[in-house]
Amino acid sequence: MSDRAPGDVLVSRDDLTARVREMAAEISADYAGRDLLVIGILKGAVFFTADLVRELAIPCEIDFMAVSSYGSATHSSGVVRITKDLDVAVEGRDVLLVEDVIDSGRTLRYLMRNLAARDPASLETCALLSKPAADRLDLRTRYVGFHLPDVFVVGYGLDAGERYRELPYISVLS
Ligand code: IMP
Ligand code: MG
């Protein structure tokens, strides 16, 4: 368990609700008339994915993948292992990958390559949060909820050593 604790609220519950609603409206417009497959990345994106799909105005299918990245609790090494793969095939599907936070961007880059190799009709990404390092990478993240400074955050699915995921807001770990 971490010896640090959640401090200042960075994104409030109301701000999360409002932004998720906006993102869902944008996605609904972009994918109108298409057959959307939403892929949430466990565990961090579980609440974001659940809230997002419930605000969509279009039908979709939902699946999840779990990955573990080798490295310390607060830094990913970029070496990613799939610990739970999809139940459905993505070939020919319009796929939207939903991530909690992009830090270095290595996890997302790995997943994009992995999924692209399965021949989806289209593949886009949606991240609730993005940090400065990710903004410098050419990841072409189609939808980003909030751009964060270089701080470690917890809550709304995000953890520090598996703690604090249940907080209904996003808080800086201090
Ligand atoms: P990346 O591969 O460096 O982009 O790291 C992405 C993954 O690291 C995320 O899916 C999270 O699991 C974790 N991560 C990065 N920054 C944070 C943070 O501020 N809080 C909690 N987890 C984080
Ligand atoms: Mg994590």
Residue 54 neighbours by CB distance under 10 Å: 10
Under 8 Å between Cβ of 173 and 5 = yes
Which numbered ligand comes closest to the C-alpha of 105?
1
| pTM assigned to the model | 0.93
Go through the domains of the chain in sequence order and give each one's CATH number.
Answer: 6-173 (3.40.50.2020)
Residue 108's φ and ψ, nearest 5 degrees, are -65, -40
State pLDDT tens for residues 83-107. Answer: 999 999 999 999 999 999 999 898 9
- If you count them, how many residues does the chain have? 174
Q: Give the model's pLDDT for residue 174.
A: 83
Q: Give the model's pLDDT for residue 133.
A: 82
**pLDDT at 69 exceeding the cut of 90:** no
Mean pLDDT across the chain, nearest whole number?
Answer: 92
**pLDDT at 74 exceeding the cut of 80:** no
Interatomic CA distance for residues 29 and 14, integer angstroms: 23
- Which of the four pLDDT bands, split at 50, 70 and 90, describes residue 70? low
| Strands of the sheet with 60-71, listed across from one edge | 76-84, 60-71, 36-42, 94-102, 122-130, 143-147
Q: Could you tell me which of 124, 127, 145 has the C-alpha nearest to residue 20? A: 145
Name the helix (H) or strand (E) containing 76.
strand 76-84
Where does ligand 1 bind, in terms of residues with CB under 6 Å? 44, 69, 76, 99-108, 152-154, 158-159
Interatomic CA distance for residues 10 and 173, integer angstroms: 10
Which numbered ligand comes closest to the C-alpha of 99?
1
Q: Is 103 a catalytic residue?
A: yes
43 vs 68, more confident: 43
Kindly state the percentage of the chain with pLDDT values over 70.
91
Interatomic CA distance for residues 42 and 109, integer angstroms: 16
Q: Give the model's pLDDT for residue 149.
A: 93
State pLDDT tens for residues 121-140. Answer: 999 999 999 998 876 677 78
Interatomic CA distance for residues 129 and 115, integer angstroms: 21
Q: Please compute the mean of the pLDDT values over residues 133-162 and round it to a whole number.
A: 90
Q: Give the model's pLDDT for residue 140.
A: 82
- Which residue among the candidates 51, 100, 103, 159 is catalytic per the annotation? 103
Strands (E), 88-135: 94-102, 122-130
